[in-house]
């Protein structure tokens, strides 16, 4: 069992420094492996439940793990209990499942009933409901950012390129836009070029929004800015905005001049590579406060 209230030397990781195995519920991308490494570095055992079709063998294969269907909640819970995991981390993207594909097991069907309407609300509502249900099942859910503090984007300019006054104005407008769409549980990002909102992210995700923004781009003007922020009030234990070197390269390809992300609430999958990619492409990469925070 995790010992609640134990304080770590830096005063932050107290409750997760000691105790039994930490369970990682893993979607795609490299972050589940990074969380596993960070957990192991704290002297804790790791067990990864990899969501079938999402978790990547190259990432989780070298850790104790098991692949489970997303909706096989019974299997997931019994496996976490058998491994003695009380502390859990949800990390890595998972596409919202289609209901015809779900095929929940018996426990999964019961849990879906408990999640209820949130299954059909925005992602934020769904993830918050999953975190709540896991809590009711006796697990303690932690945010990946608690383990990956070095990957949490910090405030200020990260690379060599700084936003100019025009870019700063676009960042400010983008932040207002993302704040508004986030409050409506629509999405976490938008692209603004010279005051004009080129694209707003909903279900399609950041990559597709970037491609569209590139196609709607106004020629003859400075490039646009991608702004990614947490939804206001969003639970930080699920679905933090994430930026990787691919995001940076794609932003450059579609003619953007920079990326602004919420400082302290965005994961950079590989900060050094992100900065190197931004510097190489002449893009800025800047951590900003949420609307109303500064």
Residues that bind a copy of itself in the complex, under the rule CB under 8 A: 96, 98-101, 117, 120-122, 176-177, 180-181, 183-187, 190, 194-204, 208, 212, 215-216, 218-221
Q: In terms of CB distance, is 12 or 208 closer to a copy of itself?
A: 208
Q: In terms of CB distance, is 18 or 176 closer to a copy of itself?
A: 176
Q: In terms of CB distance, is 122 or 258 closer to a copy of itself?
A: 122
CA dist 36 and 147 (Å) reads 9
CB of 107 to a copy of itself, least distance (A): 20
CB of 292 to a copy of itself, least distance (A): 16
Token duo for residue 94: 């998972």
Strands 242-243, 258-262: parallel, antiparallel or unpaired by DSSP? unpaired
Distance of CA 98 to the CA centre of its chain: 21
CB of 215 to a copy of itself, least distance (A): 7
Q: In terms of CB distance, is 138 or 195 closer to a copy of itself?
A: 195
CA dist 194 and 192 (Å) reads 7
CB of 232 to a copy of itself, least distance (A): 13
Token duo for residue 11: 């005063």
CA dist 101 and 103 (Å) reads 6
Token duo for residue 85: 């995991």
Token duo for residue 258: 């920079």
Q: In terms of CB distance, is 224 or 245 closer to a copy of itself?
A: 224
Q: In terms of CB distance, is 215 or 272 closer to a copy of itself?
A: 215
CB of 190 to a copy of itself, least distance (A): 8
CA dist 30 and 230 (Å) reads 20
CB of 191 to a copy of itself, least distance (A): 8
Sign of the torsion angle spanned by Cα atoms 281, 206, 76, 137: positive
Q: In terms of CB distance, is 62 or 218 closer to a copy of itself?
A: 218
- Provide the β-strand partners of residue 68: 51
Beta strand ranges found along 79-153 (DSSP E)? 87-91, 140-142
For residue 261, the surrounding DSSP H or E stretch is: strand 258-262
Q: How many helices (H) and strands (E) does the chain have?
A: 11, 13
**256: nearest Cα among 186, 180, 163:** 163
CB of 198 to a copy of itself, least distance (A): 5
């Amino acid at each position: 069992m995790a010992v609640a209230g134990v304080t770590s030397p830096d005063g932050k990781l107290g409750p997760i420094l000691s105790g039994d195995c930490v369970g990682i519920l893993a979607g795609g991308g490299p972050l589940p492996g990074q969380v596993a490494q960070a957990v192991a570095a704290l002297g804790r055992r790791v067990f990864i439940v990899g969501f079938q079709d999402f978790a990547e063998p190259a990432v989780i294969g070298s850790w104790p793990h098991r692949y489970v269907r997303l909706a096989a909640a019974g299997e997931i819970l019994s496996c976490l209990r058998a491994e003695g995991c009380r502390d859990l981390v949800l990390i890595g993207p998972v596409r919202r499942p289609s209901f015809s594909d779900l095929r929940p097991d018996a426990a999964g069907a019961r849990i879906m009933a408990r999640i209820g309407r949130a299954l059909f609300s925005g992602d934020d509502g769904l993830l918050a409901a999953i975190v709540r249900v896991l809590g009711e099942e006796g697990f303690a859910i932690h945010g990946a950012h608690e383990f990956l503090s070095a990957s949490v984007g910090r405030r200020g300019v990260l690379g060599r390129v700084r936003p100019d006054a025009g870019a700063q104005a676009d960042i400010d407008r983008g932040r207002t836009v993302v704040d508004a769409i986030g409050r409506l549980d629509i999405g976490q990002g938008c692209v603004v070029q010279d005051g004009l909102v080129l694209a707003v992210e909903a279900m399609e995700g950041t990559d597709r929004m970037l491609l569209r923004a590139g196609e709607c781009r106004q020629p003859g003007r400075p490039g646009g800015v991608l702004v990614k922020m947490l939804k206001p009030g969003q639970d930080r234990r699920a679905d933090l905005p994430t930026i990787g070197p691919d995001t940076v390269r794609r932003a450059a390809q579609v003619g953007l001049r920079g990326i602004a992300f919420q400082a302290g609430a965005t994961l950079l999958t590989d900060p050094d590579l992100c900065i190197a990619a931004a510097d190489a492409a002449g893009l800025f990469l800047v951590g900003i406060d949420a609307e109303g925070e500064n």
